[in-house]
Amino acid sequence: MSTKTPMRAGIAVLLLAMAATYGFAQAASAQKERAPRAIDKIAYPKLNEIQLPSITRETLPNGMRLLLIEDREFPQIRFRALIRGGNIAEPKGKTGLTELFGEVHRTGGIKSMSGDKVDEMLERLGASVETSVGENYGEVSGRTLTEHLDKVLPVYAEFLMAPALAQDKVDLAKTHMRSLIARRNDNVQALARREIMKVIFGKDSPLARQFEYDDVDGLTQADLVSYHRKYFRPDAVILAVWGDFAVADMKAKIAQAFSGWQVAGPAPQIPVPAIPAPAPSVNYIEKKDVEQTFIQMGHLGLRLDDPDYAAVNLMGEILGGGFSSRIFVSVRTTKGLAYGAGGYMVPGYTRPGLFSFYTSTKPASTAEAISTILEEIKKIREAPVTDAELRRAKEGYLNSYAFEYDSIAKIVNRQAVYDFYGYPTDFNVKLRSAIEKVTKEDILRVSQKHLKPDVLTILAVGRAEQFDKPLSTFGKLTTLDIRIPEPKPKEVIPEATAESLKAGTELLRKAAMAMGEQTLLGLKDVTTQSVVKAKTPMGEMELKVKSVFVLPDRYCQEMATPMGTVMQVVDGEKAWMKMGQMTRDMPGSAAAEMRRGLYTSLGGVLLLKQVLEGKLQGQALGKAKLEDKEALLVLVRLGETPLRVYLSPDGSSIMGFQQTTQTQEGPAETVETLADFQAAGGLRLPMEEVQKVKGEVKASSKTSSVETNKGFAEGLFDKPAAAAPK
């Protein structure tokens, strides 16, 4: 629901709190080097060779490749199809298409059955079909009990051959995508990983680009149909099937299920994403709603099939892979700068992967943490690792190797991926053999060859004014803009003129005088009590709310809810909430909406006060209607956000507001109407408010008490000390 005003923002953030489980990081202790003990001298025998199950590879007449594995342990059969295409095949100008397709492919149903009917059928049979889209391929997976194979296989096949991509599910998925955009800057760790990918690969690369509201608005069902028609063809599919069946029988059933699917025309050419040349950079993202600095560092890495990968894998483990890694011990154990720190190299199958290094620390140790990681990267390039380090890294890899073969699912899924990328079937076995042969000299050689501090990308997210040293200490600094672009307005707003600004501002001044000019000019704080009714995903709720608004930018709201008391505080750039014993900084999007909502709180007292003080202007847009009532319309710009203010025909009061707000489903047109104006605290204020989102009532409130310039308790806006980062 909307987070337009403090009342609404409170409800929205409450819903976020109820939907999420918050936890606080716990540190694990690292072990220092110690003298060998008797137990360390035990000689363990070489691991047994792993016996792979028999895999039958077949190609159907239509070009579809099959991997079939019999596994009679359980009466169950599973499918996984990989379809060449994925994000890298996304057409230019259609950013977000594959994200949309991956969701609607399943929810949109098939030609013979709606998505909802498919859900009912599969649930009744204890079966499933799921879809997704990754970097290089789309995926359709499924499972069924053996006894229901003949019912489920035709449905599974139809999802590959003839998905319906229903329009109502397209609309629903687009709403979900808008909600992802609205919340994408709330998770700081995900934000940092996303932005460093954009710096390294380029913001327009299919490996890093992100969709915006206008991209989503421009996508259509026809785009999805076109994508499916172009890339979903039998000769682009590898279908792995494993479980309780005889190979010959399964091949015949699959051939029959897909007999009508034929190749049409040449295979589409999928462009290989360009990889920019490595270049050093130092980047900063300002985020005032975090207490720590989140640090990401990295540069291009290797392909999985690079001859040096085995040594690089172990080098990465020694440098940053665990509690005994060099980065963790140095940053966390020795210097106590962070709870966690580390690094790794994720390889790519067809392109270079990434070396990544990370930590989060208090702002006052930001530069020190970065320097510490850089020192460890340089050190491992200067001298061989110790015997103990190499032994631990090898044992860690080899002892976990068996778990890559502890289920048929893991084996067949890996083989399907190897087949898809053209890797040899015994690639994993050869990699283990290469790991066993890695020496200290190999580690030093690949560290010097592949670790490149001179082209490292450094990114810090936080509050630069609190850093121990400027980030420019590490190189030329670039500040990244993570603001979410607003969707293009569907209605063109006329250009403001001197005459329209003068007329609009005069209308607002008239409303301010009618509200109480002298009281507004002297207004310092307002304390209110009210009852709010709100529609939530958990049903309708009635909330008793007490709020203290200290103009212009401090707001404390205490809500009595069925789950207990929730307190929310906005204090300038800071915003946090407390629920029970748990205190948490507000997500950035929710905090921003609460700050914007202060302007329309209590019928617009802050807005009208700032008009009287000459801080805001209004643009007269003429006559309009609000809820079928005649009104005068004035446009006020709050930064880049336009707010429509509806005034009574005589200009004596504000009837309501309209603006685009962030809801749980993304941006939406929100209308707030005001009623039951009464004298309270020296002002003429609305005692009732109703909020509608897309025409549907989402919240209403009735105010029972208003006190102006009452003052507030000392410490009201202080975040509880127990919740502060350690």
Residue 720 has pLDDT above 90, yes or no: no
Report pLDDT for 358: 97
Query: pLDDT of 293-311, one tens digit each?
Result: 999 999 999 999 999 999 9
Is residue 136 a part of any domain in this protein? yes
Report pLDDT for 11: 38
Better-predicted residue by pLDDT, 491 or 529: 529
Smallest CA-to-CA distance from 261 within 466, 83, 497, 50 is with 83
Report pLDDT for 92: 87
Confidence of residue 701 (pLDDT cuts 50, 70, 90): very high
Is residue 376 a part of any domain in this protein? yes
Q: Are residues 587 and 686 in the same domain?
A: yes
Query: pLDDT of 361-407, one tens digit each?
Result: 999 999 999 999 999 999 999 999 999 999 999 999 998 988 888 89
Residue 25 has pLDDT above 70, yes or no: no
Q: Are residues 580 and 703 in the same domain?
A: yes
Contact 289, 585 (CB under 8 A): yes
What whole-number distance in Å separates Cα of residue 105 and Cα of residue 100? Answer: 8
Smallest CA-to-CA distance from 332 within 584, 34, 36, 26 is with 26
Average of per-residue pLDDT across 593-605: 92
Report pLDDT for 35: 56
Is residue 264 a part of any domain in this protein? no
CA–CA distances in Å: residue 535 to residues 8, 178, 327: 11, 20, 49
Place of tokens 């607002």: 508
Smallest CA-to-CA distance from 352 within 299, 415, 402, 286 is with 299
Element (H, E) at 560: strand 554-561
Q: At what angle do helices 427-437 and 309-320 cross, to 10 degrees?
A: 60
Smallest CA-to-CA distance from 2 within 502, 541, 663, 539 is with 663
Strand partners, 654: 647
Residue 663 has pLDDT above 80, yes or no: no
Is residue 40 a part of any domain in this protein? no
- Tell me whether strands 457-462 and 281-286 are parallel, antiparallel or unpaired: parallel
Q: Are residues 391 and 351 in the same domain?
A: yes
Confidence of residue 580 (pLDDT cuts 50, 70, 90): confident
In degrees, to the nearest 5, what angle opens at C-alpha 66 toward C-alphas 62 and 69?
A: 155
Residue 236 has pLDDT above 60, yes or no: yes
Q: Are residues 434 and 358 in the same domain?
A: yes
Residue 103 has pLDDT above 80, yes or no: yes
In degrees, to the nearest 5, what angle opens at C-alpha 332 toward C-alphas 469 and 199?
A: 55
Confidence of residue 667 (pLDDT cuts 50, 70, 90): confident
What whole-number distance in Å separates Cα of residue 478 and Cα of residue 281? Answer: 8
Measure the N-to-C terminal CA separation of the chain; round to a whole number of Å: 34
Q: Are residues 655 and 531 in the same domain?
A: yes
Q: Are residues 162 and 206 in the same domain?
A: yes
Query: For the purposes of burial, counting CB atoms within 10 Å of the CB of 149, is it exposed (0-12), middle (13-18) or buried (19 or more)?
Result: buried
Picking from 241, 257, 273, the residue at the C-terminal end of a domain is 257
Strand partners, 69: 242
Query: pLDDT of 108-154, one tens digit each?
Result: 999 999 999 999 999 999 999 999 999 999 999 999 999 999 999 99
Residue 490 has pLDDT above 70, yes or no: yes
Is residue 387 a part of any domain in this protein? yes
Report pLDDT for 232: 97
What whole-number distance in Å separates Cα of residue 587 and Cα of residue 190? Answer: 13
Report pLDDT for 546: 95
What whole-number distance in Å separates Cα of residue 171 and Cα of residue 648? Answer: 36
Confidence of residue 98 (pLDDT cuts 50, 70, 90): very high
* Highest mean pLDDT (candidates 13-22, 24-33, 520-529): 520-529
Average of per-residue pLDDT across 712-725: 75
What whole-number distance in Å separates Cα of residue 373 and Cα of residue 325? Answer: 12
Percent residues over pLDDT 90 in the chain? 78
Check which CATH number belongs to the domain holding 286 and give it: 3.30.830.10
The model carries a pTM of 0.81
Check which CATH number belongs to the domain holding 664 and give it: 2.50.20.10
Report pLDDT for 37: 58
CA–CA distances in Å: residue 542 to residues 100, 527, 699: 36, 20, 10
Q: Are residues 346 and 301 in the same domain?
A: yes
Report pLDDT for 3: 36
Is residue 703 a part of any domain in this protein? yes
Q: Are residues 514 and 580 in the same domain?
A: yes
Smallest CA-to-CA distance from 348 within 305, 315, 296 is with 305
Strand partners, 561: 564
Query: For the purposes of burial, counting CB atoms within 10 Å of the CB of 252, is it exposed (0-12), middle (13-18) or buried (19 or more)?
Result: exposed
Smallest CA-to-CA distance from 533 within 519, 518, 544 is with 544
Report pLDDT for 24: 30
Residue 553 has pLDDT above 90, yes or no: yes
Contact 486, 641 (CB under 8 A): yes
Confidence of residue 36 (pLDDT cuts 50, 70, 90): low
Smallest CA-to-CA distance from 268 within 236, 238, 239 is with 236
Residue 500 has pLDDT above 50, yes or no: yes
What whole-number distance in Å separates Cα of residue 355 and Cα of residue 321? Answer: 12
Q: Are residues 429 and 521 in the same domain?
A: no
Picking from 435, 450, 474, the residue at the C-terminal end of a domain is 474
Smallest CA-to-CA distance from 127 within 142, 116, 141, 117 is with 142
- Domain membership of residue 468 as a residue range: 281-405+422-474
- Tell me whether strands 641-647 and 654-663 are parallel, antiparallel or unpaired: antiparallel
Confidence of residue 588 (pLDDT cuts 50, 70, 90): confident
Q: Are residues 108 and 249 in the same domain?
A: yes
Average of per-residue pLDDT across 628-633: 95
Helix (H, G, I), strand (E, B) or coil at 326: helix
Picking from 208, 241, 257, the residue at the C-terminal end of a domain is 257
Count of domains forming the chain? 3
Q: Are residues 230 and 368 in the same domain?
A: no
Contact 344, 316 (CB under 8 A): yes
Is residue 496 a part of any domain in this protein? yes
Is residue 266 a part of any domain in this protein? no
Report pLDDT for 493: 84
CA–CA distances in Å: residue 409 to residues 65, 283, 345, 632: 18, 42, 25, 66
Q: Are residues 237 and 298 in the same domain?
A: no
Report pLDDT for 288: 85
